[in-house]
Amino acid sequence: MIHSIFIINRSGGLIYHKNYSSKIAQLSSNEALTLAGTFHGIHVLASRISPATRGGDTVKDSGIQTIDTKNFRIHCYQTPTGIKFIAATDLLETKLTDILAKVYVLYSDYALKNP
Amino acid sequence: MAMAKQLKATGEEAWKNNVEKVNAELFIFTYGSLVVQLVKDFEDYSAVNKQLDKMGYNIGVRLIDDILARTGIEKCGDFHTTAEVISKVGFRVFLNIAPSVSGWSADSKEFSLILDDNPLNDFCELPPKAVQDGLWYSNVLCGVIRGALEMMQMQTEVWFVKDVLRGDDVSEIRVKLVRVLDEEVPVGDE
């Protein structure tokens, strides 16, 4: 059960957000922008302070993938170009990577090619 | 070389399954009329080259997301891998050709892509003045490569060395890595 979706570009600016259920708090657009910026910041922090790097330094850590709280979970999928797809869902969804990857395909098809 | 084979397979599979195709002739003719229009507008062939490169750059920054989304390729470890990915996956998926990679410089920062047949050149002949003044007909490809690599944190210079339309036997594009960008905020994005 997905509650909302955010798409953040590589400099941390929010490019899209949408609520899909009425249970979640409705964010004003200002709050959504702040949330996106904050998330971008902690995502970068997480990948920089990662203690584990795979046998060499050419592969960086992937950054935040999920954040758990008592009532819901935030999933994040980062593309190699720096775009982050974030979904807030309830606790029943454990791994949204495939779905977010599909969103990436659709995004590149429709959003980027639209003149 | 197992990696090269794997990339080749990825490219072919993506071409077969994941990509919408348009009529090749339509595409080639559209590109041709685009170049003709630019030549009429600018009247100066080096300005046309620059404009084609700029257009290619804008296409490249978007194209890179498209190809990453479709093929799920991870970030490349080194420049050699990047070259292989561009030739075996990128060109295969979008133009269905397979250029070869060669001409590596000593410090592995430059390489050449050799295109045996460039589909954009079909049905095209350059007038002698264009050849004389240095028009690179497919310069948009250089811009695309430059734009795509810049989104992958690599600043590059890309230019044509040889072109079949100018009388050479193959077309050759030279790609040079200038520097690796380090998570900079893109200019003009705030």
Q: Does A98 touch chain B (CB under 8 A)?
A: no
- Beta-carbon separation of B69 and A107 below 8 A: yes
- The whole-number pLDDT of residue B52 equals 92
Question: Half-sphere exposure of residue A108, counting CA atoms within 13 Å on the CB side?
Answer: 25
Give the pLDDT band (50/70/90) at residue B132.
confident
- Contact flag B152-A80 (C-beta cutoff 8 Å): yes
The three-state secondary structure class of B71 is helix
pTM here is: 0.84
User: Does residue B53 surpass a pLDDT of 90?
Assistant: yes
pLDDT above 90 (res B21) = no
Percent of chain B's residues with pLDDT above 90: 13
DSSP A25: P
Task: Please report how the helices B45-71 and B139-151 are oriented relative to each other, as an axis angle in degrees rounded to 10.
Answer: 50
CA A47 to CA A80: how far, in whole Å?
A: 13
The model's pLDDT over A31-42, given as tens digits with 9 standing for 90+, comes to: 889 989 999 998
Q: Report the distance separating Cα B48 and Cα A56, nearest Å.
A: 44
Report CB contact under 8 Å: A9, B189: yes
- For residue A109 the two structure tokens come to 């098809």
Q: What ipTM does the predicted assembly reach?
A: 0.75
The whole-chain average pLDDT of chain B stands at 84
Helices (H), chain A: 29-48, 97-106
pLDDT at B190: 31
Q: Any chain B CB within 8 A of the CB of A13?
A: yes
Q: Tens digit of pLDDT for each residue in A45-99?
A: 888 887 765 555 555 667 788 889 888 899 998 888 888 899 988 888 888 888 8
The mean pLDDT of B83-96, rounded to a whole number, is: 86
pLDDT at A54: 53
In B, minimum Cα distance to A56 occurs at B77
Tracing tokens 């250089």 back to the chain, one arrives at B142
Question: Taking CB atoms and an 8 Å limit, are B68 and A79 in contact across chains?
Answer: yes
Name residue A51's amino acid. P
The rounded distance, in Å, linking the Cα atoms of B82 and B88 is 10
Lowest mean pLDDT among A42-56, A58-72, B50-64, B143-157: A42-56
Is pLDDT above 70 for B183?
A: no
Strands B110-115 and B154-162: unpaired
Domain that holds residue A105: 2-113
Calculate mean pLDDT across residues B144-159: 89
Residue A43: give its domain's CATH number: 3.30.450.70
Strands (E), B28-153: 100-102, 110-115
User: Worst-scoring range by mean pLDDT, A93-102, B24-33, B178-187?
Assistant: B178-187
Question: Number of helices (H) and strands (E), helices first, in chain A?
Answer: 2, 5
Dist CA B104 CA B177 (whole Å)? 12
Which residues make beta-bridge pairs with B32? none
Question: H helices within B134-190, ranges in order?
Answer: 139-151
Q: What is the model's pLDDT at position B120?
A: 86
Domain count, chain A: 1
Average of per-residue pLDDT across B43-52: 89
* Closest CA relative to residue B145, chosen from B75, B82, B80: B82
pLDDT at B189 over 50: no
Q: Smallest Cβ distance to B65: which of A11, A59, A79?
A: A79
What is the pLDDT at residue B184? 55
Exposure string over B128-160, b if 16+ CB within 10 A, otherwise e: eebbeeebbbbbbbbbbbbbbbbbbbbebebeb
